[in-house]
Amino acid sequence: MTSYASVLTITAFTAERYVAICRPLLSQSLSSLSRAVKIIIGIWIVACICALPYPIHTRVFYEIRNPYTNESIEESLLCNIPSEWRIPMGYMFQFSTFAFFIIPMIVITIVYILIGAELWNSKLGIDNTKNKQAAAQAAKARKAVLKMLVAVVIAFFVCWAPFHVQRLMTIYVPPGNWTVQLLEIQTYIFYVSGVLYFVSSTVNPILYNVLSKRYRRAFKMTLCRCCHRNKYTNDLSLCRSSPSVGTGTSVAIYTNQKLFVKHKPIKNGLFRNSKL
C-alpha cells in the first residue's frame, strides 16, 4: 500500500509542479489547504483499495515436506501466495505494473518534457533582456531545473523497474520452464529490487540536496534552526508586514512574453517545494 501511495504522490507532485511552473495563474486559483488534504486522502484511499487483494490472498505456509515422514521442513516456511491463487493474482500483478509503473512513468515523462520545453523556450525572452547578469543567472537556474527533471525521471525508472520485472517473471515464465540461469537472474533481481524498493523513498531528497542550492539551504536551516532562529524570525516578520508578499513563497515564473520574472509570489499548492 505504501508503495502505491508513494507512486501516486510522486505523480501528483509532478502535476502540481507543472501547474506551478507552466500555469502560475491557474496555480494561484487552485492552491488551497482543503484541496491538498483531499488529494492526499484520495491517494491513500486508492492505494489501500488496490493493495487489499495482497493481504487477503497471502498465507504463511510450509512449501516443502519431508517425503518420508510428511512433516513440514522448518526452513521452507514462507509468506507467499498459495498456488491456487497464482492465476488470479497474476492479473493483479499485471494491473499493478500497468497502473502504478507504466502509466505514472508515461505521465511523469510527458509532464517533465512539457516543463523542460517551457523552460527552454523561455530562453528567447531571457536573451533579449538588457541585464546580462540576470540573464546569465536565469540561464543557470534553467539548466539546473532541467537536470533535476531528467534525474527524477531516471531515478523513478531505476527504482521501480526491477521490482515489476521480478514480479512479471513469476507470471510469464511457466513453472516447467524455469532453468538454473533464470532462477539465478530472478534471485539477483529480487534482492536488487528489494533494496531499490526502499531507496525509492529516499532518493528524491538526496537528488534535491545534490542538485538544488535552495533545497540545501532550506535543509541546513531546518537542521540548524536554533542557530538561525533570529534570522528566520526577522524574515517571517518581514513577510507578515508586507501585504504584497502573500504566503511568503517566491518562485520563478514565465509571462506570456516568455520573460523571466523573479520572486513572483504565489500561494502554496500541494507541495511547498514545487519550485526548486
Average pLDDT for 201-223 = 81
Q: What angle do CA 97, 195, 107 make, to 5 degrees?
A: 35
- Give the integer Cα–Cα distance in Å for 155 and 210: 13
Q: What is the pLDDT of residue 230?
A: 52
- Give the integer Cα–Cα distance in Å for 190 and 34: 40
- Sign of dihedral through CA atoms 101, 58, 192, 4? positive
- Sign of dihedral through CA atoms 232, 237, 243, 246? positive
Lowest mean pLDDT among 27-41, 62-76, 104-118, 204-218: 62-76
Q: What is the pLDDT of residue 86?
A: 78
Q: What is the pLDDT of residue 45?
A: 94
Q: What is the pLDDT of residue 276?
A: 44
Residues paired with residue 265 on neighbouring β-strands, in sequence order: 250
- Give the integer Cα–Cα distance in Å for 61 and 216: 48
**CATH H superfamily, domain 2-51+82-211+242-265:** Rhodopsin 7-helix transmembrane proteins (1.20.1070.10)
Share of the chain above pLDDT 90, in %: 8
Lowest mean pLDDT among 21-30, 80-89, 197-206, 263-272: 263-272
pLDDT band at residue 227 under the 50/70/90 scheme = low
Q: Where are the domains of the chain?
A: 2-51+82-211+242-265
